[in-house]
Amino acid sequence: MRFAPLAILPRGALTLLKEVARHVLRRPVVGVAVAGRTTDGRWLLIRRADTGTWALPGGTLEWGETLRASLHREILEEAGVTTTHVEHVVGVYSDPDRDPRFHAVTIVVACTVEPPERPPVNPLEIREVGLFHDHELPKELALAQNDMLRSAREGKVGLFE
């Protein structure tokens, strides 16, 4: 007979522990995406290695990190951009079906960016970086980000999904 450590807990405590674990382990993940535009009007996009599609650069917030610090870290890691000027929050997007990996809450921030100065840090994650004029933008972006980029292109501020 095997010893089950959780079996020694009272039934109510086990139920409470399961409920706490359910909430802790199933929380939305907070991230930031950069709607970056150069001074000559080109939009910064990255090509994801997992899907081969273009996307806004960005990622998830790390423990102990501010959104602003995350934005600067992610755009440097993914796009090789060293100079970024934050303009305004385009919107907060939280549709649980947007990202098939997890429930993401994404804060999209409009920024003025300098062109990339170095390659992406992880080529297994990001295949390439591109700068696109409006008429050159890909028709579909990864992770249903078309509405995010459209809102940034239209100059929207403070959308709340």
- Give the other-Cβ count within 10 Å of 98's Cβ: 17
- 148 within 8 A of 109, measured Cβ to Cβ: no
Other beta carbons within 10 angstroms of residue 76's beta carbon come to: 19
What is the C-alpha to C-alpha distance for residues 19 and 24, in angstroms, rounded to an integer?
9
**What is the C-alpha separation between 147 and 157, in angstroms, rounded?**
13
Out of 74, 128, 136, 154, the active site residue is 128
Active site residue 128: yes
Q: Are strands 126-132 and 43-48 parallel, antiparallel or unpaired?
A: antiparallel
Contact 115, 131 (CB under 8 A): yes
Residue appearing with tokens 């804060």? 107
- Active site positions, annotated: 128
